[in-house]
Structure 1
Amino acid sequence: MELHDVWFVLIAVLWTGYFFLEGFDFGVGVLTKLLARDRPEKRVLINTIGPVWDGNEVWLLTAGGATFAAFPEWYATLFSGFYLPLLLILVCLIVRGVAFEYRVKRPEESWQRNWETAIFWTSLLPAFLWGVAFGNIVRGVKIDRDFNYAGGVLDLLNPYALLGGLVTLTLFTFHGTVFVGLKTVGEIRERARKLALRVGAVTALLALAFLLWTQSEQGDGASLVAVVVAVASLVLALAAARAGREGWAFVLSGLTIVATVAVLFLTLFPNVMPSTLNPDWSLTVTNASSSPYTLKIMTWCAAVATPVVMVYQGWTYWVFRKRIGTQHIADPVH
């Protein structure tokens, strides 16, 4: 296997880790409007992800940095062609981080309510837009002979990509609902379990349609296996949630995300951005990659740094592993 193939796989792993981890905290952000009934319950939801949400975003930074270094042509075409949606995602992530930190800085109800609304929308929009972005990457976009994006913003709003956005939105919300059931106690845990069944049913219908569409257009034997794993794990996650086995439900909903991302990257390879104007103008792992020397240095750096990052992030989850409820919420001090 060539180094550019290795880095394609590593970037796929980084995006998988990001969607697995950031997926449930996007889902929790959406649930602040769908599940919480009062301010203490909203604080419970936010506290379930409070110690980990910023660490989850490290995977996005690493995926973006790795794409820039390993496949500069891919990075340049992607960020120029998808400039507006990616800018909107960036703004949402910035506002979302500020909202987590500033929400309890003042006691006024209107102040806290506005920041809670910001958390909801800046969780919902990226969860949808990431699916739109990756739907377009897999489907292909208008790339000319110079590897420049030749389309417009409206070209990105095609049915396949919009369906992909709905799949990521509902899948992340389901993942977040299962996570809330795993991390909370009392009435909110019971409501989360019931909501997970409803959200999961909608997710299953949308995901099945999207995965079958993807497989019929560009799939092969390997991607078909991933499709079967994604569908089976989602069905089993629903069964586990119904039985009150939140741990298994979370693992299986996470496996659904992993398998879904695998489907996308398996159908994409060896392209990194197909051209709908001319297949010969597509960006591939070969013509979009950096030099072998650059990839070799990156490989050694990744071999050293990646285990360190995974260990300290795993330690964070272990330290904050216990369940919480409204009884654990202290009165705010300003």
Structure 2
Amino acid sequence: MELTTVWFILIAVLWIGYFTLEGFDFGVGMLLPVLARDDTERRVMINTIGPVWDGNEVWVLVAGGATFAAFPEWYATMFSGFYLPLLVILVALIVRGLAFEYRHKRPEAQWKANWDRAIIYGSLVPAFVWGVAFANILRGVPLDADHEFTGSVLTLLNPFGLLGGLTTTLLFLTHGAMFVALKTDGEIRHRARALACRLGAGAAVVAVMFMLWAQSLSGTTGSAVAFTVAALTLLAALVAAARGREGWAFTGTFVTIGLAVTGLFLALFPDVMPSSTDAAFSLTSTNAAATAYTLKVMTWVAVMFTPLVIGYQAWSYWVFRKRIAVYHIPTPAPETAAS
């Protein structure tokens, strides 16, 4: 297998890791005003992802860095053509990260409410815009002979792109509800499980529509298999949730998102950025790749350090595996009058 293909696969794996892991904490953030009834329950929800959200974001940083090093032409075209959407995502992620760190710094209700809104919108915006971006990468964007993006932001807001954004948003909401049901106890657990079933039904309809459309654009046998199994796995996850099997339900949405992203990359290959202007102008895993020596060095680095990163993250999830409930949240000490 050529190193260009190896690195296409590795970058696909990084994006699969990002969407399956960051997907549920985006979902938890978006569901903050829906599932939580008071500040204590909001703290419970935030604490479910508190130890892991920043580690989940590492996957997108590595994916971006790997794309820059392995496929510099792809990186340059994507980050120039998608500059504004990616900037919006970056700002949303920064504000969201600040919200997690600063929400508890002051006791005032308004202070917490403002940071809660930052978490909600800082989760919603990336969840939607990532779907729009990847749908457009698969559909193709206007590129000229120099691989320069010749469209605008409005070019990306086409029906297929918007459907992609709606698909990722609904899948992440379902994934997040499953995670809350898995990680909490008491009333919030039951509300999350019931909501996951309702959200999952809508997500299944929209996701099937998107995958059928994606398959019709540039699908392969491999992508058809991945999309089909993804749809079946989502249905199995909903059945598991309805039966109170939160662990299997969360595993189901995890696998669903992973297979859906796999299907997108299988449908995309060997292109990395198709041109809607002329197929001859498309970027492929060959003409967008770095030199063979660069790919060889990167491969050795990946072989050495990737298992360490995955092992550490798996260990952190194991350490923080127990459920959280409102009785785990300490009651704030009453304010005392100044003497």
Class of the TM-score when normalised by the shorter of the 2 chains: over 0.9
Partner deviation per Cα, 1:27-72 (whole Å, 9 max, x = no partner): 0001101111111010000000000000001101100000000000
Q: 1:210-255: CA deviations, max 9, x gaps?
A: 0011112211211111011111000000000000000000111001
Secondary structure of 1:185's partner?
Answer: coil
- 1:245 matched to which residue of 2? 245
The aligned residue for residue 73 of structure 2 is: 73
1:54-203 to structure 2, matched below 5 A, reads: 54-203=54-203
Mapped to 1, the partners of 2:267 and 2:26 lie a distance apart of 26
**Aligned residue in 2 for 1:306:** 306
Q: Between the two proteins, what is the percent identity of the paired residues?
A: 64
TM-aligned CA deviation for residue 332 of structure 1: 4.6
Aligned to 1:49: 49
**Structure 1 stretches of 5 or more lacking a match?**
none
1:166 counterpart letter in structure 2: L
Cα distance in 2 between the residues matched to 1:128 and 1:176: 14
* AA aligned opposite 2:261: V
SS of the counterpart of 2:31? helix
Residue deviations 1:147-196, cap 9 Å, x none?
11000010000000100000000000100000000000000000001100
The 3-state SS of whatever aligns with 2:272 is strand
Q: TM-score, normalised by structure 2?
A: 0.98
Q: Secondary structure at the match of 2:321?
A: coil
The alignment covers a number of residue pairs equal to 334
Q: Distance in 1 between matches of 2:65 and 2:318?
A: 27
SS in 2 for 1:272: strand
Partner of residue 20, structure 1: 20
1:40 is matched with 40
Could you list the runs of 5+ residues in structure 2 that have no partner in the other structure? none
Looking at structure 2, the residues matched to 220 and 100 of structure 1 have their Cα atoms a distance apart, in angstroms, of 41
- Using the size of structure 1 for normalisation, the TM-score is 0.99
Distance, in Å, in 2 between the alignment partners of 1:109 and 1:163 is: 37
Q: Equivalent residue of 2:105, what SS?
A: coil
- On the 8 A contact 1:184/1:324 being kept in 2, the answer is yes
Secondary structure of the structure 2 residue equivalent to 1:80: helix
- Contact 1:104–1:332, Cα closer than 8 Å, also in 2: no
Paired position in structure 1 for 2:30: 30
> C-alpha distance in 2, partners of 1:169/1:138?
18
Counterpart amino acid of 1:191?
R
Q: What amino acid does structure 2 have at the position aligned with 1:242?
A: A
Alpha-carbon distance between aligned partners in 1 of 2:3 and 2:311, rounded to the nearest angstrom: 25
Letter aligned with residue 11 of structure 1: I
Letter in 1 for 2:228: V
